[in-house]
Amino acid sequence: MNNSNSKNKNLTTTNTAKDLKGFYLSYYLSPTFYMVGAAICTVFALSFFFSVLFFIAKILITLLVFFTLIDTLFSISPFQQQQIHYYIKPFNRGEYDFGSTLAFVSSPIKLVTRRFNFNNSQIIYVYPSYIQMQKFSLQGVSSNSQIGSKKVRKLGNSLEFEQIKDYVQGDDYRTINWKATARKSQLMVNTYVDEKSQQVFCLIDKSRNMKMPFEGMTLLDYSINASLALSNIAIQKQDKVGLISFAEKMDNFVQADSKPMQMEALLQKLYKQTTQFKDADYEALYAQIRGRVKQRSLLLLFTNFESEYSLQRQLPYLKAIAHYHLLVVVFFENTELKKILHSSAQNTEEIYIQTIADKFMYEKKLMLKELRANGITALLTTPTQLTVSTINKYLEIKNRQQL
């Protein structure tokens, strides 16, 4: 036992360790958060000092990943120190639970076996990948660069105040600052510039409509990725970004801000979001926006309507939101229906299926027209093109100064 303790001092770990009857085990994971698609390296430092030389220890590493049990088995001989590295790659955001480690010490002929349970569990947080955000950030920056163009400062009457200056002939009398005029004993006017820092909110629907899978990801996954990429570009353009997620009740609210840590705050809220199995409450969403979003803002609503009836149920609340803010409703085109529609029918049943698919596709176009007819900006896109389409719509609104 003393021999074991002397050698344990050389081990550097960041997790709990045990020394149990001549067997020492520790393991560590660094850092405690990763990105989707990045390899997670888990390091086990093992020391085995049983007095009975022919005993062999077998280490069973139990990993619980989204309720999937993965067992990995290693062996170590007596009077041996060993460091084991193994890698896993997460393909989903969320929390990965690295559970307890079991050590089975047995004789070569398996007559005697003893189990040691090391309670060294640890949770690893997996965030959406930054790769997509970096990929699309170039699009936002390049949209501002025009060779040979000259930036002209435009004066306006927006709410963004710039400075107080002396009155000169031609200034608008409505901008006279009477308090400053009284202090200076000469006419002073306020000057304004076009408001640069505008509020952008991503509204993410987490109801059952967003659970529909496409190419291994749900509509909610696509919406989260698009929201993060869009938020990253909006911050680069000096806009304030915020977040509201909702289902049958309001879930997360992040106040719009452009501070450097805003992206981390959004990641913390979004990395473990899951869809619910209930309908979204748009009345509660409207109340939340009216109560907490005071300034006119750009609201991008990521949702999905599968029928015209479902849209008509929520249309009064969408119109009410659009009365106070610039609302963009982003919903999804069913790519599976498009595949059916473009396939060749071989029998009567397939003709019926194509007819139904055509009906649903036509309903999507009717919903798009219905939203636009009620003064609501709408965007119908495929899940794979969601990020590109959303960013293009945001840049279009910025260039046209619609907000």
CATH number at residue 236: 3.40.50.410
The pLDDT-based confidence of 278 (bands split at 50, 70, 90) is confident
The pLDDT-based confidence of 102 (bands split at 50, 70, 90) is low
User: Minimal CA–CA distance to 291: which of 265, 258, 324?
Assistant: 324
Domain that holds residue 62: 2-127
Q: Are residues 35 and 166 in the same domain?
A: no
pLDDT tens-digit profile of 364-402?
999 999 999 999 999 999 998 999 999 999 999 988 878
Which residues are bridge partners to 161 per DSSP?
192
Q: Are residues 103 and 243 in the same domain?
A: no
Q: Is residue 152 part of a domain?
A: no
Q: Is residue 150 part of a domain?
A: no
Q: Are residues 235 and 374 in the same domain?
A: yes
Q: Is residue 287 part of a domain?
A: yes
Composition of the chain by helix, strand, coil, percent to 5: 35, 35, 35
Helix axes 130-142, 219-236, angle to 10 degrees: 50
What letter does residue 129 receive in the DSSP assignment? P
Q: Residue 78 in contact with residue 107, Cβ under 8 Å?
A: no
How far apart are the C-alpha atoms of 321 and 289, rounded to whole Å?
Answer: 8
Helix axes 386-400, 130-142, angle to 10 degrees: 30
Residue with tokens 């047995």: 106
Q: Is residue 155 part of a domain?
A: no
Q: Are residues 355 and 375 in the same domain?
A: yes
Q: Identify the residue with better confidence: 19 or 190.
A: 190
Q: Is residue 148 part of a domain?
A: no
Tokens of 321: 């939101």
Q: Is residue 156 part of a domain?
A: no
% pLDDT > 90, the chain: 32
How far apart are the C-alpha atoms of 103 and 39, rounded to whole Å?
Answer: 25
Q: Residue 250 in contact with residue 288, Cβ under 8 Å?
A: yes
Number of domains in the chain: 3
What letter does residue 155 receive in the DSSP assignment? B
Residue 213 is predicted with a pLDDT of 86
Q: Are residues 219 and 165 in the same domain?
A: no
Q: Are residues 166 and 268 in the same domain?
A: no
Q: Are residues 204 and 306 in the same domain?
A: yes
Q: Is residue 149 part of a domain?
A: no
Q: Are residues 315 and 353 in the same domain?
A: yes
Q: Are residues 213 and 326 in the same domain?
A: yes
Phi, psi of 107 (to 5 degrees): -80, 160
Q: Residue 385 in contact with residue 223, Cβ under 8 Å?
A: no
- pTM summary value: 0.71
Calculate mean pLDDT across residues 332-346.
Answer: 86
DSSP 317-338: HHHHHHHHSEEEEEEE--HHHH
Q: How far is CA 402 from CA 110, 387, 397, in A?
A: 76, 21, 5
Q: Are residues 218 and 349 in the same domain?
A: yes
How far apart are the C-alpha atoms of 63 and 102, rounded to whole Å?
Answer: 11
Calculate mean pLDDT across residues 247-275.
Answer: 89
How many residues are there in the chain?
Answer: 403
Q: Are residues 285 and 356 in the same domain?
A: yes
Number of Cβ within a 10 Å radius of residue 136: 20
Residue 214 is predicted with a pLDDT of 86
How far apart are the C-alpha atoms of 121 and 144, rounded to whole Å?
Answer: 49
Q: Mean pLDDT score of the chain, rounded to an integer?
A: 76
Q: Are residues 253 and 280 in the same domain?
A: yes
Which residues are bridge partners to 96 per DSSP?
124
Q: Is residue 203 part of a domain?
A: yes
Residue 399 is predicted with a pLDDT of 83
Radius of gyration of the chain (CA): 30
Query: Which CATH number fits the domain that encloses residue 105?
Result: 2.60.40.10
